[in-house]
Amino acid sequence: MSVVETTIPFNPSKIRYVVACSGGNDSIALIQFMLDNHAPDTFLVLYNDTGWAREDWPDRIENVRSALKKIGVSFATTVSMGFKELARDRKGFPMPASAMQYCTSELKTGPTMKFLRENDPKGLWTVVTGRRREESNNRAGLAMLEEETRVYEGRDVYNPLVMHNEDARDVLIRKFGFEPLPHSSMECFPCVCSKRDDFKMLSEYPERIIEIKNLEIELGHTRNGKPRTMFRPYRSGGGIGIEQVMKWATGPMGTKVHEIPQEYQIPGVDYSGYRGDMKSEERAAYWANIKEQCVALGYDLRNLPTDIAYDDTTEEGREFARQCDGGLCGS
**Residue 21: phi, psi to the nearest 5?**
-135, 130
| Predicted pLDDT at 101 | 80
Amino acid at 303: N
Structural domains of the chain sorted by starting position, each given as residue range(s) with its CATH number in brackets: 3-176 (3.40.50.620), 196-299 (no CATH)
Q: Give CA–CA dist 216/260, Å, rounded.
A: 13
| Predicted pLDDT at 120 | 97
Strand boundaries in the chain, DSSP class E:
3-6, 17-21, 43-49, 74-79, 126-128, 145-146, 157-158
Buried b (16+ CB within 10 A) or exposed e, 281-297: eebeebbeebbebbeee
Q: Burial-class residue 189 by CB neighbours within 10 Å (0-12, 13-18, 19+).
A: buried
| Predicted pLDDT at 97 | 62
pTM: 0.86
Q: What are the Cα distances from residue 195, in Å, to 47, 89, 139, 199, 205? A: 24, 25, 19, 7, 16
Q: What is the full per-residue pLDDT of the chain (331 aa) written as tens digits?
A: 555 778 788 999 999 999 999 999 999 999 999 999 999 999 999 999 999 999 999 999 999 999 999 999 999 999 999 999 999 999 899 987 666 688 999 999 999 999 999 999 999 999 999 999 998 888 889 999 999 999 999 999 999 999 999 999 999 999 999 999 999 999 999 999 899 999 999 999 999 999 999 999 999 998 888 999 999 898 899 999 999 999 999 999 999 999 999 999 999 999 999 999 999 899 999 999 999 999 999 887 664 433 334 444 555 444 444 433 333 334 4
Residue range 179-210, pLDDT digits in tens: 999 999 999 999 998 999 999 999 999 999 99
Residue range 62-93, pLDDT digits in tens: 999 999 999 999 999 999 999 999 999 998 99
Q: Burial-class residue 151 by CB neighbours within 10 Å (0-12, 13-18, 19+).
A: middle
Contact 157, 24 (CB under 8 A): no
